[in-house]
Amino acid sequence: MSSISQRGNERLLSEVAGSHSRDNKILVLGGNGYVGSHICKEALRQGFSVSSLSRSGRSSLHDSWVDDVTWHQGDLLSPDSLKPALEGITSVISCVGGFGSNSQMVRINGTANINAVKAAAEQGVKRFVYISAADFGVINNLIRGYFEGKRATEAEILDKFGNRGSVLRPGFIHGTRQVGSIKLPLSLIGAPLEMVLKLLPKEVTKIPVIGPLLIPPVNVKSVAATAVKAAVDPEFASGVIDVYRILQHGH
């Protein structure tokens, strides 16, 4: 291929990508959190229009990308506060979740997200992506409300969005997590474990009791890249995306 025709093809691909970017407006629920902030950054890096809704509103980080996000303050337990943020949105990515008593966990991981799914469907949003969690066997029983809420949200997404909905189920998400002015280097533990455990056959994770502990950790950047791809690519596989597929798509 001549250099002229190669440049022409590259320009065409760039124009298509640019048009693709302009057509997609992504709303990240919980965009000022650990995973949510990485998703915002990744979506901006790819040229998409990004907004976020959370109870605290604007991110407290002082990074330059923060100024490129439209920040909304709202509470998913009060669904009406979500409607202004959904105007013109084509894709929603929810990172909303948390811990507490069983009833609190059902409300945060379930009710709040289900409200968002219903509102997005009513608003005509094209795609909905949810950051859920891998099954951890007996551990699930220790935080029962957390997984009850997660699975209820998953069911709602697959019901309301069908093949336009994607559920990501990572295990331990490593990377650099900022808490106030402190940066926690979670990859010091997570990265070596990921390197070792992803070499094991997937079947070992099915071993009773110990199997779920062998689920590979995944880098937060891989989760972010997979989430954005699921939000904008109509060819992306819908349904439940496990850790191994996140590792595959995120690199």
pLDDT digits (tens, 9 = 90+) for 54-90: 998 888 777 889 999 999 999 999 988 899 999 999 9
Query: What is the arithmetic mean of pLDDT over 147-176?
Result: 95
Of residues 153 and 21, the one with the higher pLDDT is: 153
Q: Residue 251: its pLDDT value, please?
A: 64
Query: What is the arithmetic mean of pLDDT over 175-179?
Result: 79
Would the pTM count as exceeding 0.95? no
* Pairing verdict, β 165-169 and 182-185: unpaired
Rg (CA), the chain: 18
Percent of the chain with pLDDT over 90: 63
Q: Residue 8: its pLDDT value, please?
A: 47
Q: Residue 19: its pLDDT value, please?
A: 45
Q: Please give the mean pLDDT across all residues of the chain.
A: 88
Query: Which of 101-115, 117-131, 199-213, 215-229 is least confident?
Result: 199-213
CB 207 within 8 A of CB 230: no
Q: How many CB atoms lie within 10 A of CB 106?
A: 20
222 Ramachandran zone, left/alpha/beta (phi>0; psi -120 to 50): alpha
User: Domains in the chain, ordered, with CATH?
Assistant: 22-248 (3.40.50.720)
Rounded to an integer, what distance in angstroms lies between the CA atom of residue 13 and that of residue 19?
Answer: 10
Chain centroid to CA 92: how far?
9
2, pLDDT greater than 80: no
Q: Residue 20: its pLDDT value, please?
A: 52
Rounded to an integer, what distance in angstroms lies between the CA atom of residue 102 and that of residue 104?
Answer: 5
Q: Residue 10: its pLDDT value, please?
A: 45
Rounded to an integer, what distance in angstroms lies between the CA atom of residue 184 and that of residue 35?
Answer: 14
